[in-house]
A and B are shown apart, each in its own frame.
Chain A
Amino acid sequence: MKHLLKKIAMLAVAGGIAASAQASPEADREAFQNFYKNRFASVPMEEYPNGVYSIDPVGRENWEAIEEFPPYEPFIDEGQAMWEKPFANGKTYKDCFADGPAIAGIYPLWDKKNGMVITLPLALNKCREANGEKPLKYKKGSINDILSYIAYESRGQKTNVIIPKDDPRALAAYEKGKKFYYTRRGQLNFSCANCHLQNAGMNIRADRLGPALGHTTHFPVYRSKWGTVGTLHRRVTGCNKQVRAKPFKAQGEQYRNLEYFLTYMSNGLELNGPGARK
């Protein structure tokens, strides 16, 4: 009898774990956002798009000073010129993106036809290739100009990632991204969550670890460390390298699914890119 009770208890525990490992995206997002609400009780939800500066008053002062003369401004201007300049065939980006340039809010999105997550950089390159132009590189270079322009024009839109219910592959992609987020990697054995969830708000050496909530709202980002604007996938590449894991390909399946999951976690937060960071 005792044995049976123990077994039932064990099953219940296992059931509990399974429940959160396979929870619905909405339940995931609630748990995710509640974690930060509990940890940083005085920080309103609208602050999280400001990243680490939502929880680091000292860093925030410097950041606010930087934002008075935004270092990403020239990139926005360059991007606008790119947006308006016709391709060799006479067409422009506008022919691909009728609602453009303020289109950041709909990405990343699930592409049912191709069965994959489409991010904004990927969509931009698809447009270029369809018009006979060379694709842009996904981490550095002029892709950041046009991304800066689109991000700027999209400011104020709300993160609203949709996982369509009519295609189970969309949920599977989300689940893969979620798995990636919580998996320890590299010789140093860190998951994304170790630093940006579990230890958010703590200092690693003299640097404060930023919350994951809001991580996706402000890309592309001008990083003082880079001295230029870079993409989200460039930043994630850096994270993976820091834990001594081999990074994956920018815009490859792993990072696209990760972006799908991570952006979903910030659903409801305002887009405020391009951003400026240390």
Chain B
Amino acid sequence: MTISTKLLGIASAGVLLAGQLALAPVASASGPSMVEEGKNIAFTRKKGNCLACHVMAGGKAAGNIAPPLGAMQSRFKSKAELKAQIADATVKNPETSMPPFGRHKILSDAEIDKVVEFVWSL
């Protein structure tokens, strides 16, 4: 996928999400870079390392411990809900293997916001 179509996709997602912009005020202008930064954090081993367990578009040699990440906007009601899941998945499922990225400060709050932007775009 070229960068321009990616941007287009993000832009149209932005239009679709207009109703939720109040929740995420930074989405339109700085959205694309947030998504790119989020992708970097998600793919980097010493940061999110999401690929250890999740198949994600654009990622290589992903694990299969956890569900592939796609169609996220049909799986989560809002970015806030997605963020809560990344921050501490044990709230919904005490037996989950997923590390509590927020509760244990594996990622900073700002980093999680970026990852949310990226994952939400999948």
Contact = CB atoms under 8 A, between A and B. Distances in A.
Asked if chains A and B come from one complex, the reply is yes
B64 to A, nearest CB: 5
Interface string A201-213: 0111110010000
Contacts of A189: 90, 99-100, 104
A205 B52 contact: yes
Contacts of A202: 63-65
A204 B65 CA distance: 7
Contacts of A63: none
Contacts of B97: 190, 194-195, 198-199
A204 B49 CA distance: 10
Given A187-B99, A190-B99, A198-B95, A205 B106 contact: no
Interface in A39-59: none
Interface residues on B, range: 10 to 19
A227 to B, nearest CB: 22
Interface string B56-75: 00000111110000000000
Which of A190, A195, A206, A209: most chain B CB closer than 10 A? A206
Contacts, number: 37
A188 B64 contact: no
A209 B65 CA distance: 10
Interface in B84-99: 90, 95, 97, 99
Contacts of A187: 99, 104-106
Contacts of B106: 187-188
Nearest to A206: B61
Contact of A204 (B52, B90, B104): B52
Contacts of B65: 199, 202-204, 209
A42 to B, nearest CB: 19
B17 interface: no
Interface in A192-235: 194-195, 198-199, 202-206, 209
A209 B66 CA distance: 13
A29 to B, nearest CB: 21
A199 B53 CA distance: 10
Contacts of B95: 198
A6 B62 CA distance: 45
A206 B100 CA distance: 22
Interface in B3-47: none
A205 B99 contact: no
B20 to A, nearest CB: 30
A205 to B, nearest CB: 5
B99 A203 contact: no
Nearest to A191: B97
A56 to B, nearest CB: 13
B119 interface: no
Contacts of A190: 97, 99
16 contacts: A187-B99, A187-B104, A187-B106, A188-B99, A188-B106, A189-B99, A189-B104, A190-B97, A190-B99, A203-B63, A204-B53, A204-B65, A205-B51, A205-B61, A205-B62, A209-B65
Given A188-B99, A204-B63, 16 more contacts: A188-B104, A189-B100, A190-B99, A194-B97, A198-B97, A199-B65, A199-B97, A202-B64, A203-B63, A203-B64, A204-B65, A205-B51, A205-B61, A205-B62, A206-B61, A209-B65
User: 4 closest pairs, A vs B, by CB?
Assistant: A206-B61, A188-B99, A202-B65, A203-B63
